[in-house]
Amino acid sequence: MQGASQMAQEHKDQSGFALPAPQNPDTAAASNATVSSSSVMQTEVVTTNTTNVNVDTSSRDLLIGGAILLVLFIGFFFARGAYANSLVAKRVPPNKANAAGWWLFIFLASLSVGVVLSAVNPARFLAPLIIGPLAVVALVALVLMILSSRK
């Protein structure tokens, strides 16, 4: 009797998976019905808990998202230079063309950060407190790019 209560206490202390205590063949048949019904209940609880969207983002997903952003930023850097050169060819002063190129870079970078974050973990990063400031930065950069690219 004391061994069973000690095992029950140890079972409460452990937070991981534990095998049930061995049983007598006479009580095994009677307890199988309760075990099967309790396992169904546990399965239902697990099923309802897995629909919770507050899952943690793995570091692998964040690493892949960071690598994608790095590649995009490199591409945006070359696009910035091409856009500035095209504005200079249209007789826009070089300092204004360079500023418009950098605003284009900021615009594209903020949009891509929002898209990559929403692809990595939409439940966490599609929150208005994260996407809102990124959208505001993108809109401000777009307006300043258009204003800077005028002659």
Q: Please state the length of the chain.
A: 151
**What mean pLDDT is predicted for residues 90-97?**
95
What is the average pLDDT score of the chain? 81
> Which whole number is the average pLDDT over 31-53?
50
Half-sphere exposure of 10 (CA within 13 A, CB side): 11
Say what the pLDDT of residue 32 is.
57
* Residue 45 pLDDT grade (very low, low, confident, very high; cuts 50, 70, 90): very low
Which of 111, 115, 113 shows the shortest CA–CA distance to 138? 111
Which of these, 71, 78, 135, lies nearest to 101 by C-alpha position? 78
User: Is-above-0.75 flag for pTM?
Assistant: no
Instruction: Give the position of tokens 């809109």.
Output: 139
11, pLDDT greater than 50: yes
pLDDT: which is higher, 118 or 34: 118
Which amino acid, 110? S
Phi, psi of 138 (to 5 degrees): -65, -45
- Choose between 13 and 73: higher pLDDT: 73
